[in-house]
Structure 1
Amino acid sequence: MARIAYILLCHKEPEHVIDQARRLVAAGDFVSIHYDARAPKAEFAALKAALAEEPNVCFARRRVKCGWGEWTLVRATLSALEAAVGAFPRATHFYMLSGDCMPIKSAAYAHEFLDERERDFIESVDFHTSGWIKTGIKEERLVYRHFFNERAQKRLFYASLGLQERFGLKRAIPDGLRIMIGSQWWCLRRRTVERLLEFLRQRRDIIRFFSTTWIPDETFFQTLVRHLVPEEEIEPSTLTFLMFSDYGMPIQFYNDHYDLLLAQDALFARKISPEAEDLRARLGALYADPRTRFDISGEGKRLHGFLTSRGRIGRRFASRFWEKESTLGRERELMIVVCKKWHVAKRLLERVRQVTNMPTVNYLFNEESTPLPDMGGIERQMDKRTRHCRALMRMLFDHFETDRLAICIDPGSLDLLHDFFSDRARTRLLEIECSFSDAYLAGHARRIGLAGATTPEAALARLLPSLRQDILYETDRIRDAEFPDHSIMRQTQTVAENAAALAEFLAVSPQTAHEIAATDYLFAD
């Protein structure tokens, strides 16, 4: 009978990981866990302690700091895979999962399904001809070396790529490999995994090549399995049910998706919303119940598309995620910096990102040129960003794979502040109060088109009091709104006073806040 060793990659919510591992091993299967080294040590210690008495649970020998699109994701997977092969000699299959995955079939169904099919299940199509990559760079992922993360180090990423293109520094694909691409969620037989690990021990050039490709988790296993296993023994699809929105982001499943998920021709589903507690409980109980019978229709993607195209309010599923009622997620924290001097707020957020590694985005609702990732078009027009502000923010949380995100907003965007503070997410506000000299206000008047290069000084002098009053009016409106979690930094305050406000806003230590507040050029014009 098939016995599955689940390779579980996770980076947060250790209590859910504990529940997930216990549920899977209770049915006679195994779990090998890699818990992201970026997560707090205390979380990992609690996870190990809770599962210490579970003989069918092991942990990757080495924790890796994982980054989206990086080789680190493959390295973490290999570490957990090697641990599972050594710890569980009775495992017949190895199934890749994330902390967001849940079973949509029982263990009995999964075991019988795999017993009847002597195959490896891995989506694997030709990299160059399949059209699998819809946007962004394609061949450049492979033929150039990538040492920087496109999300966290965008300028360095593209500068490095540009230099290599300019000087013709292309490299060859390793001998004998036909590069394939597909979903990272696979299920492989034991002999395939053992053959793959032995192949890597013999061909270190394979590791060197893929470790500097971009998004190797979509190509590494997909290529090597095709290289090592006869085509007739490969099912080029994933056993994990997942869907993507029109904006290219993973669709989350909620409590009322239970029947839909059970009807799909898959063993697991991704992503289950953290808020869907009832769905998680029902799917958890399902895995241990051998009596459940499944009527497979496989109509999930068609039905979901049909209903969402007509508006889902009051229908079978939850309302569209871009409707007014959508939420950023109860477990998330949105930190908003409001400042009339945009360069001051940008400098502050850059220091926050450098010191805390928290993702930050500048004036995305006020400045058209703000760099944003490709999200299917919603990011290209300012009116779309504002109209679907919560959808955009939710997609950014997903893009950065974070539960904490900091942004800048102009003080005049009071409606946006009210919208975000009415969300279920925890929203914090930091107001930066700056000093405005007449020279600065005159330059501001020219930047926003109220004055030109030839505007007489007398006309400017009459304009400046109105501008100063308008800035004060925006500040008064924000304070009159009495938003909770509202902190204030002032140009006239000491570093220690501003550090206290920052510590409260960011929920960081006083030492970390002081390091940020002490930036000597922060308020310079």
Structure 2
Amino acid sequence: MAKIAYILLCHKDPDAIIGQAEMLTKAGDYIAIHFDGRARPEHYRRIRGALADNPNVTFARKRVKCGWGEWSLVQATLLAVEAAAKDFPRATHFYMLSGDCAAIKSARYAHEFLDAEDVDYIESFDYFESDWIKTGMKEERLIYRHYFNERKRKWLFDASFALQRKLGLSRAIPNDIQIMIGSQWWCLRRRTVEWILEFTRKRRDVMRFFRTTWIPDETFFQTLVRHVVPDAEIRTRTLTFLMFTDYGMPQTFYNDHYDLLLGQDFLFARKISPEATELKARLGALYSDDDATFKISNEGRSLFKFLTGRGRIGQRFGSRFWETESTLGRHRELMIVICKKWHVAKRLLEQVRKITNTPAIEYLFNEEDTDLPDLGGIQSTLEKRTRHRRALMRMLFDYYGTDQLIVCMDPSALDLLQDFASDRSTTRMLEIQCVFTDDYLIGHAMRVGLAGEQTSAETFERLLPTIRGDMVYESDGIRDAEFEHHYIISESRPPEENAAPIARFLDIDHEQARDIARTEHLFAD
């Protein structure tokens, strides 16, 4: 009978990881865990300690810092696969999972399913002939070298790509492999995994090539499996059920999706909401239930398409994405930097990015040209961003693959601040109080259209106290709202005093906060 070694890549929620490992190994299967090198060390120690006595659990020999679209995701997977292959010689199959996945069938059903055919399950479509990539780069993912993370260091990513293209620094794809593409969620036989590991040791040229491709977790295993395994032994599908919204974001499953998930022709499902505790408990009990039977209807994707389509024409039970996803999620942390001087907040954000590596977005509700990813059009105008603000924010959390996000807002946006503060997520605010000189206020009046080049000194003399009063009024309104996690730094205070509220706002140590507070020319106009 099949014995499955689960390959788990995860970066958060240690208690959920421990529970997932205990559930999967209780049925006699194995699990190899790679916990992101960027995650908190104390979380990793908790996982290791809780699972130390479980002989069916192993860990990757080293932890790497993972980033979306980077080679690091493939590297982490290979490290976990190597550990599983070495420590679990009886494992017959290796199944790729994330911390957001959950079994939707029993262990007995999964084992019998894998025993039925001696094949590998992996999406593997021709890279150039298929329409798997809908928009954006295609050939450019491969023929140019990508050294920087597109989400975290977008300017360097774009500049490097533009420079290579301008100088004609493209490269050839290794001529004896056919590039394939597909989902990163696969299940491979032991023999296939051993062939791939051997391939990685022998073909250093191919490894060098993939290390600088963009989003290699969608091409590396998909290409190598097709290279080492006969076509007849490959089923071009995933065994993990996942759906995507119209905006290209994974659909999240909640407590009331239990019956729907059981009817799908898959062994696992992704993504399960961290708040769906009842669903997780029921699925956990199901996995160890050898008597469970399943009626496969496989209507999930068509039903989802139908219901959302009905919502488009105003009919019942067809909630749009921003209605069904109306909360950011209890487990998420939205950190809002509030500052009237936008250039000051942007300087602070740049330093925060360097020190914390937390995704940070500038004035997305104030500046039309704020650098945002393509989210299917919801990000295209300020009016859409504001109207569907919670949906937009949730999509950004999903896009960056994070539970922590920093954004900038103008202090005039009190309604937005109150809306986010009322969400079930944790919302923290850092207000930056600046000194407003007359010269700054004159420039501000001209930028917002209250004055022009020909405005007289007498008019400015009457106008400036009003503008200054409005700014004080906005700040008072924020304080009067009595937000739970509201911190203040001030231009009039020394960096040492500003470090403390920064540390509480970002949940970092004092030394890091002090480095941020000492940002060079932070308050300069």
TM-score by length of 1: 0.97
- Contact map agreement 2:311 2:317 (CA 8 A) in 1: no
Per-residue CA deviations over 1:27-86 (Å, capped at 9, x if unaligned) read 111111111111112111111111111111111111111110000000010011011111
Matches within 5 A, 1:169-248: 169-248=169-248
CA distance in 2: counterparts of 1:506 and 1:197, whole angstroms: 41
CA distance in 2: counterparts of 1:63 and 1:496, whole angstroms: 34
Per-residue CA deviations over 1:323-382 (Å, capped at 9, x if unaligned) read 287111111111111111000111111111111111111100111111011111111111
* Cα deviation, residue 26, structure 1: 1.0
CA distance in 2: counterparts of 1:324 and 1:130, whole angstroms: 32
- Return the letter of the residue paired with 2:511: Q
* Cα deviation, residue 311, structure 1: 4.3
- Return the letter of the residue paired with 2:121: F
CA distance in 1: counterparts of 2:324 and 2:227, whole angstroms: 49
- Contact map agreement 1:256 1:316 (CA 8 A) in 2: no
Per-residue CA deviations over 1:160-215 (Å, capped at 9, x if unaligned) read 00110001011011121111100000001111111111122211111100000000
**Structure 2 residue 362 is the aligned partner of structure 1 residue 359:** no
Can you give the 5+ residue segments of structure 2 that lack an aligned partner in the other structure?
A: none
CA distance in 1: counterparts of 2:130 and 2:183, whole angstroms: 13
CA distance in 1: counterparts of 2:61 and 2:315, whole angstroms: 49
Match in the other structure for 1:270: 270
Match in the other structure for 1:289: 289
CA distance in 2: counterparts of 1:513 and 1:381, whole angstroms: 34
- Contact map agreement 2:127 2:181 (CA 8 A) in 1: yes
Per-residue CA deviations over 1:118-164 (Å, capped at 9, x if unaligned) read 11100011111211111221111000001100000000001000110
- Secondary structure at the aligned position of 2:162 is classed as helix
Match in the other structure for 1:142: 142
CA distance in 2: counterparts of 1:504 and 1:195, whole angstroms: 50
* Cα deviation, residue 487, structure 1: 1.1
CA distance in 2: counterparts of 1:279 and 1:140, whole angstroms: 41
Match in the other structure for 2:495: 495
- Contact map agreement 2:325 2:391 (CA 8 A) in 1: no
* Cα deviation, residue 464, structure 1: 1.6
**Structure 2 residue 426 is the aligned partner of structure 1 residue 437:** no
CA distance in 2: counterparts of 1:170 and 1:325, whole angstroms: 42
- Return the letter of the residue paired with 1:61: R
Matches within 5 A, 1:320-359: 320-323=320-323, 326-359=326-359
Match in the other structure for 2:448: 448
Match in the other structure for 1:34: 34
* Cα deviation, residue 490, structure 1: 1.2
- Contact map agreement 2:325 2:394 (CA 8 A) in 1: no
CA distance in 1: counterparts of 2:307 and 2:279, whole angstroms: 20
Matches within 5 A, 1:36-185: 36-185=36-185
- Secondary structure at the aligned position of 1:470 is classed as helix
Farther-moved stretch of structure 1 (502-511 vs 455-464): 455-464
Match in the other structure for 1:13: 13
Match in the other structure for 1:520: 520
- Return the letter of the residue paired with 1:468: R
- Return the letter of the residue paired with 1:28: G
* Cα deviation, residue 305, structure 1: 2.1
- Contact map agreement 1:320 1:326 (CA 8 A) in 2: no
Query: Quick one: structure 1 residues 232 and 196, their matched pair in 2 at CA, closer, same or farther if it must change by over 3 Å?
Result: same
- Contact map agreement 1:321 1:327 (CA 8 A) in 2: no
RMSD over aligned Cα atoms: 1.6
- Contact map agreement 2:71 2:216 (CA 8 A) in 1: yes
CA distance in 2: counterparts of 1:501 and 1:17, whole angstroms: 32
CA distance in 1: counterparts of 2:41 and 2:433, whole angstroms: 37
* Cα deviation, residue 515, structure 1: 1.1
- Return the letter of the residue paired with 1:498: N
* Cα deviation, residue 239, structure 1: 0.4
Farther-moved stretch of structure 1 (67-76 vs 403-412): 403-412
Match in the other structure for 2:410: 410
- Return the letter of the residue paired with 1:167: L
CA distance in 2: counterparts of 1:253 and 1:316, whole angstroms: 16
Query: Quick one: structure 1 residues 42 and 315, their matched pair in 2 at CA, closer, same or farther if it must change by over 3 Å?
Result: farther
- Secondary structure at the aligned position of 1:192 is classed as helix
- Contact map agreement 1:326 1:391 (CA 8 A) in 2: yes
- Contact map agreement 2:487 2:501 (CA 8 A) in 1: yes
CA distance in 1: counterparts of 2:13 and 2:504, whole angstroms: 23
Query: Quick one: structure 1 residues 324 and 522, their matched pair in 2 at CA, closer, same or farther if it must change by over 3 Å?
Result: farther
Farther-moved stretch of structure 1 (306-315 vs 50-59): 306-315
CA distance in 2: counterparts of 1:324 and 1:524, whole angstroms: 44
CA distance in 2: counterparts of 1:127 and 1:456, whole angstroms: 64
- Contact map agreement 1:103 1:267 (CA 8 A) in 2: yes
- Return the letter of the residue paired with 2:356: T
- Secondary structure at the aligned position of 1:96 is classed as strand
TM-score by length of 2: 0.97
- Secondary structure at the aligned position of 2:323 is classed as coil
CA distance in 2: counterparts of 1:61 and 1:335, whole angstroms: 34
Matches within 5 A, 1:368-387: 368-387=368-387
Aligned residues: 524
- Secondary structure at the aligned position of 2:331 is classed as coil
CA distance in 2: counterparts of 1:508 and 1:18, whole angstroms: 25
- Return the letter of the residue paired with 1:27: A
- Return the letter of the residue paired with 2:510: P
- Secondary structure at the aligned position of 1:323 is classed as helix
- Return the letter of the residue paired with 1:446: M
- Secondary structure at the aligned position of 2:296 is classed as coil
